[in-house]
Amino acid sequence: MEERRVPRDGELVLPGDYLGVIEEYFPGEGVKEENGELYAIRPGRVKIDTQRMEISVEAVTDVPPLPQVGDIVIGKIVEVRGQNAIVQLIKIEGREDDREIATSKLAGIHVSQVKEGYVENLGREFKIGDVIRAKVIANEKSPIQLSTKGPELGVIYALCTRCRTPLVRRGNQLVCPKCGNVETRKLSTFYRKMKV
């Protein structure tokens, strides 16, 4: 098994970063223990207290925002494979500053979180390049986990897979005004009603 690098005192870390093992340090503020291993749960600087044998993560000011559970995020589908769609996060909705997101900026949507009911083929719900609106359901580990269950969540902008023209919504389907191609997606009620 490869030796994992432990961040030094004062080093910047992101949520989910490995910080060491419980035998070395007690988990302090901003740190959680999982199966004997310690992980950062917030962005910040590592602080090691050698007297108390404690490792903690101090929040740093002006860190780009980290999506919290319950936040609505806008992202772009970058890959659809098997049971998961991989999403590149663009921004957190409703943050006045609209700053870049901290973290690797990648998130995932498991097939069970696409919509209510059974999803037979994830490729019919999302295509690479689709812009989606989703809710953060877990952010402890990377990638952040998202859900598009609910009428207001799902695809808000999509291009025709044949000719790359923006698709127009007709009921529950998307139609290409240029080549007539008809496609399906897990659509949001905000489809083409938001600035992307």
127-163, pLDDT tens digit by residue?
A: 999 999 999 999 877 789 999 999 999 999 999 999 9
pTM: 0.67
For 93-131, the pLDDT digits (tens) are 876 555 566 555 889 999 999 999 999 999 999 999 999
Distance, CA of 33 to chain centre: 22
- Name all domains of the chain by residue range, CATH numbers in brackets: 12-58 (2.40.50.100), 72-183 (2.40.50.140)
pLDDT of residue 35: 92
pLDDT bucket at 195, cuts 50 / 70 / 90: confident
H runs (alpha helix) in the chain:
122-125
The per-residue pLDDT for 96 is: 55
C-alpha to C-alpha distance for 132 and 195, rounded to whole angstroms: 12
The chain-wide mean pLDDT, for the chain, equals 89
The answer to whether the CB of 56 falls within 8 A of the CB of 32 is no
Nearest to 44 by CA among 64, 25, 21: 64
List C-alpha distances in Å: 181 to 72, 129, 134, 162, 169.
30, 17, 26, 7, 12
